[in-house]
Amino acid sequence: MDSLIEKIKSGYLWDFPGGVFPPERKKLSNHSPIKQLPLADEYIIPVKQHIGHPANIVVQIGDSVLKGQALTQVQGPMELPVHAPTSGEIIAIEPRISAHPSGLEELAIVLKPDSLDNWCEKSPTPNYFTLSKVELLDKLKQAGISGLGGASFPTYVKQSNSQPIELLIINGVECEPYITADDMLMREHANEIVSGIEIFTHLLQPKLVVIAIENNKPEAIAAIEAACSGKTKFVVRAIPTKYPAGGEKQLIQVITGQEVPSRGITADLGIISQNIGTAYAAYKAIVQGEPLIERVVTVTGEQVNSAQNVWARIGTPVQFLLDNQGYKPLKKPRVIMGGPMMGFALHSLATPVAKMTNCILAPSDKALPAPENEQACIRCGYCADACPASLLPQQLYWHSKAKEYDKAQDYKLFDCIECGACAYVCPSEIPLVQYYRIAKADIKTEQLEHEKAEKAKERFNARNERLEREKQERLDKHQQAAESRKKAMAKDQGAQDKVAAALARVQAKKQAKETPEQQETTNKTAQNVADSAVSQDTSAKATAAAAIARAKAKKAAQAKAEQLAKDTDKTPTTEDSAQAKAKAIAEKIKAKRQAEAQAGSDAPAEPDNAAVKTESDNKDTEQGLTPAQIKAKAIAEKIKAKRQAETQAGSDAPAEADTVAGKTESDNKDTEQGLTPAQIKAKAIADKIKAKRQAEAQTGSDVPADPDNAAGKTESDNKDTEQSLTPAQIKAKAIADKIKAKRQAEAQAGSNEQAEPENLANQTETASPKNEPEPSAATDVKSTETAENELTEAEIRQQRVKAAIAKAKAKKQALGDK
């Protein structure tokens, strides 16, 4: 390396293969100084503007923020905060079109300026060399600095490399036609840039710093050379103008003659490269204490009257930039963010400027003709001659087009840097790069799916084993139970008394409390509760369910008999209610039987999947995210808690109904994970529908959605529409919604306690464990007591259920909040 450094110092330059010479058209915008702009009407700050993960939003709608105030807070690796570009009020947190080729919406914070432009408190550290490396890196992170050259890689991550760095390359090449942002920045702020570079050198301690500038920018070269004078470690190198000399890999090849290993990083060579703009941003952040809230953007193109570089605040809508420079839209307008070779066409002018935006280009159709007809490839090989990565673009194209992805990868598809040189020279106007992008995306999805399938297979096998085991256990138990039952029956009539007593209790209570109409609702609820219970019956619980169902069936049979007896001496009103109830019970029996049947059959217990699959799907999509892991754990905990609650409560129906709500909630929580809202919504809805369908299918009856489900659904709907809120807000609101939904359910049920299987956390207090009666012989005795007494007991029991649920919920929330 040392001899290499000597060679570099001596002024030797290497070349890279291929390359093209598109018309530069930089003259359009490099004549006037960088312009300061007035404030825009609103700023749209996408939460994620870098490679990595978005940070947590820490502001709420309605908050007033100061210029430079952090809007998000970093909590994990590869996160970067975003800052308020000016002072004002947060008016929305919602998905907006983001600076991305897809034109999809992403979560953004919308800021309405108060026109005061008041700074928050800055913490400049001109004597940064007194800081430790960690502190300095943290400052870079807190300032939200990512690579401004286009890749938007978090700078602090790049700078915190542990490998020894010999060479720092500062990229001022700017090889894309039209763009002059770095050029003008170098001309006007050479000293600041050099100070910024010194921060990097302080962090990395390289042996040499090479500032590479294309030789078509003599003014910039002169300015930087002047600013570097006297600094022995600094070398300013004018490199030949050839696209894409500014590509990181190509630049390293030009400066050092070395190649970054495929799938490796530059640091493997002991080299780190940073963009000129990034150096400037680092200077601003450290020496002046100003986070990254504005950057130089070239607003240019034949359709712009006064093409010029401007200081654009992050979040400025493109429309505002264009209007300021006098934009004449074409009949079919075309605006490109970035340069003509690698930039992407915008779908809307509402797109905001992001950290990586270096150019807004509105070309005429003559200057950059829109693609005409794609013709057949004539194998001219021009593309291969132009490719800087020495690929065979033509072969890549054949195989990508034919979807022969194995072969495409043989031809090193993933080493393509998508520079566009091949498509630029192709005489048949084949959009080569587009084919590569599609192929790459397809291959990536394929791989993901493959991994997923592998995992699913594992899961499937594991479950099959488990089911087999459980079946065996169930059979054993069944036999045992049958035997013991026989014995018990012979021995004791108490068990029967107990069942009868319970039924009497329930009935007494109903009669005491209900008007016929109410009762109908109640019955419906009860029925639904049962249905959802069935739908939720997991195979894990299959054994329990089977046992319970058996008991229930027995119970129900008895109840029916009893009712028949009772019905004869009842008033018409009670008769109605009794009939309704009988029906409900019948339904329940049916449902239970089905559950049992299904649990007994091997048909890989699809019902179970409703819940488990939804959850696991969610988990899959969120692999690697720390919050997701926490959530996964939360879900697991939740399930466990639910199960406990269930067993504790003794009657599984209400508790399970709660799971329906709980599950919907968990779905909703997914929506809060900061994924693309549209995706989440779609998924949530799909899951919901799926779960519901399965529930319905299982019960085999087309029961109307029960109140609880309705509540759950309302919740999720509401939440979906409230993507822009902070998680805290969402949560708060969700709870409010839940209460509301609950109220509705309650109202519907005629304020019947039983219609409300789940309850709010604060009601937990009313449930005192002392009051928990033991289901022992004592209860059997009680069975003959008055209806009123029974009622209290039923209530207590309910409260116990509630308490359990509330406990589970509290735990879940606690975990979810983590």
Which of other proteins, ligand SF4, none does residue 392 bind to, with CB < 5 to 8 Å depending on kind? Answer: other proteins
421 in contact with ligand SF4 (CB under 6 A) = yes
Task: Let me know the angle formed at the C-alpha of 53 by 52 and 57, rounded to the nearest 5 degrees.
Answer: 145
Identity of the residue, 154 or 177, whose beta carbon is nearer to other proteins in the bound complex: 177
- 3-class DSSP assignment, residue 96: strand
User: Which tokens go with 361?
Assistant: 């280009």
416 in contact with ligand SF4 (CB under 6 A) = yes
151 in contact with ligand SF4 (CB under 6 A) = no
Count residues binding ligand SF4 (CB under 6 A): 29
Identity of the residue, 272 or 389, whose beta carbon is nearer to ligand SF4 in the bound complex: 389
Distance in Å, CB of 390 to other proteins, minimum: 4
Candidates 142-150, 273-281, 432-440, 697-705; binding stretch for other proteins (CB under 8 A): 432-440
Applying the rule CB under 8 A, the residues between 384 and 403 that interact with other proteins are 384-385, 388-392, 394-395
63 in contact with other proteins (CB under 8 A) = no
DSSP track, 115-140: S---B------TTGGGS-HHHHHHHH
428 in contact with ligand SF4 (CB under 6 A) = yes
Rg of the Cα atoms in the chain: 34
State residue 786 phi and psi, 5-degree precision. Answer: -70, 160
| Residue from 687, 532, 561 nearest 619 by CA | 687
Distance in Å, CB of 103 to ligand SF4, minimum: 22
* 316 close to 45: Cβ distance less than 8 angstroms: no
397 in contact with ligand SF4 (CB under 6 A) = yes
Applying the rule CB under 8 A, the residues between 245 and 264 that interact with other proteins are 249, 253, 259-264
User: Which tokens go with 757?
Assistant: 């299987």
Amino acid occupying residue 754? Q
Identity of the residue, 199 or 321, whose beta carbon is nearer to other proteins in the bound complex: 321
Count residues binding other proteins (CB under 8 A): 71
Which of ligand SF4, other proteins, none does residue 555 bind to, with CB < 5 to 8 Å depending on kind? Answer: none
260 in contact with ligand SF4 (CB under 6 A) = no
Provide the pairing of β-strand 105-113 with 88-97: antiparallel
Provide the pairing of β-strand 53-54 with 294-300: unpaired
782 in contact with other proteins (CB under 8 A) = no
Choosing from 33, 218, 371, 381, the residue that interacts with ligand SF4 (CB under 6 A) is: 381
Beta-bridge partners for 56:
73
Distance in Å, CB of 403 to ligand SF4, minimum: 17
Candidates 393-401, 575-583, 791-799, 808-816; binding stretch for ligand SF4 (CB under 6 A): 393-401
| Residue from 173, 151, 185 nearest 33 by CA | 185
Distance CA(714)–CA(298), nearest Å, equals: 47
Identity of the residue, 418 or 537, whose beta carbon is nearer to other proteins in the bound complex: 418
207 in contact with other proteins (CB under 8 A) = no
Distance CA(15)–CA(37), nearest Å, equals: 40
Which residues, in sequence order, are CB contacts of 796 under 8 Å at separation 6+? 767, 771, 772, 773
206 in contact with other proteins (CB under 8 A) = no
Provide the pairing of β-strand 308-313 with 294-300: antiparallel
* 341 close to 176: Cβ distance less than 8 angstroms: yes
Applying the rule CB under 8 A, the residues between 94 and 153 that interact with other proteins are 103
Which of ligand SF4, other proteins, none does residue 249 bind to, with CB < 5 to 8 Å depending on kind? Answer: other proteins
* 604 close to 460: Cβ distance less than 8 angstroms: yes
402 in contact with ligand SF4 (CB under 6 A) = no
Candidates 119-127, 252-260, 422-430, 745-753; binding stretch for ligand SF4 (CB under 6 A): 422-430
Query: By CB neighbour count within 10 A (0-12 exposed, 13-18 middle, 19+ buried), where does 469 fall?
Result: exposed
Distance in Å, CB of 219 to other proteins, minimum: 25
Distance in Å, CB of 20 to ligand SF4, minimum: 8
Q: Measured between alpha carbons, how far apart are the two ends of the chain, in Å?
A: 47
Candidates 151-159, 386-394, 639-647, 660-668; binding stretch for ligand SF4 (CB under 6 A): 386-394
Choosing from 116, 330, 378, 441, the residue that interacts with ligand SF4 (CB under 6 A) is: 378
426 in contact with ligand SF4 (CB under 6 A) = yes
Candidates 15-23, 543-551, 666-674, 793-801; binding stretch for other proteins (CB under 8 A): 15-23
Which of ligand SF4, other proteins, none does residue 336 bind to, with CB < 5 to 8 Å depending on kind? Answer: other proteins
Task: Let me know the angle formed at the C-alpha of 748 by 763 and 810, rounded to the nearest 5 degrees.
Answer: 25
Applying the rule CB under 8 A, the residues between 325 and 384 that interact with other proteins are 329, 332-336, 338, 340-349, 363, 367-371, 375-381, 384
Identity of the residue, 376 or 565, whose beta carbon is nearer to other proteins in the bound complex: 376
Distance in Å, CB of 28 to other proteins, minimum: 14
Identity of the residue, 389 or 502, whose beta carbon is nearer to other proteins in the bound complex: 389
Distance CA(665)–CA(684), nearest Å, equals: 10
User: Which tokens go with 527?
Assistant: 């029925």
* 113 close to 62: Cβ distance less than 8 angstroms: no
Identity of the residue, 392 or 705, whose beta carbon is nearer to other proteins in the bound complex: 392
Distance in Å, CB of 101 to other proteins, minimum: 8
State residue 430 phi and psi, 5-degree precision. Answer: -85, 125
Around 216, how many Cα atoms within 13 Å sit in the side-chain half-sphere?
22
Applying the rule CB under 8 A, the residues between 22 and 41 that interact with other proteins are 22-23
Identity of the residue, 178 or 280, whose beta carbon is nearer to other proteins in the bound complex: 178
**Nearest 10 degrees: CA dihedral of 779, 781, 787, 788?**
-70
Candidates 78-86, 306-314, 389-397, 567-575; binding stretch for ligand SF4 (CB under 6 A): 389-397
Which of ligand SF4, other proteins, none does residue 397 bind to, with CB < 5 to 8 Å depending on kind? Answer: ligand SF4
Q: Which long-range contacts (CB under 8 A, 24 or more apart) does 612-620 make?
A: 612/538, 613/690, 614/663, 614/666, 614/667, 614/687, 614/690, 614/691, 615/639, 615/663, 615/666, 616/459, 617/683, 617/687, 618/666, 618/667, 618/670, 618/683, 618/687, 620/452, 620/455
433 in contact with ligand SF4 (CB under 6 A) = yes
Distance in Å, CB of 65 to ligand SF4, minimum: 41
Instruction: Read off the DSSP letter of residue 701.
Output: S
User: Which tokens go with 140?
Assistant: 């870079």
Distance in Å, CB of 449 to other proteins, minimum: 25
* 533 close to 653: Cβ distance less than 8 angstroms: yes
DSSP track, 651-700: -HHHHHHHHHHHHHHHHHHHHTT-S-HHHHHHHHHHHHHHHHHHHHHHHT
Instruction: Read off the DSSP letter of residue 77.
Output: T
Which of other proteins, ligand SF4, none does residue 293 bind to, with CB < 5 to 8 Å depending on kind? Answer: none
Choosing from 380, 489, 512, 689, the residue that interacts with ligand SF4 (CB under 6 A) is: 380
Choosing from 322, 424, 546, 671, the residue that interacts with other proteins (CB under 8 A) is: 424
Q: Which residues bind ligand SF4 (CB under 6 A)?
A: 377-383, 386-389, 391, 393-394, 397, 416-422, 425-428, 430, 432-433
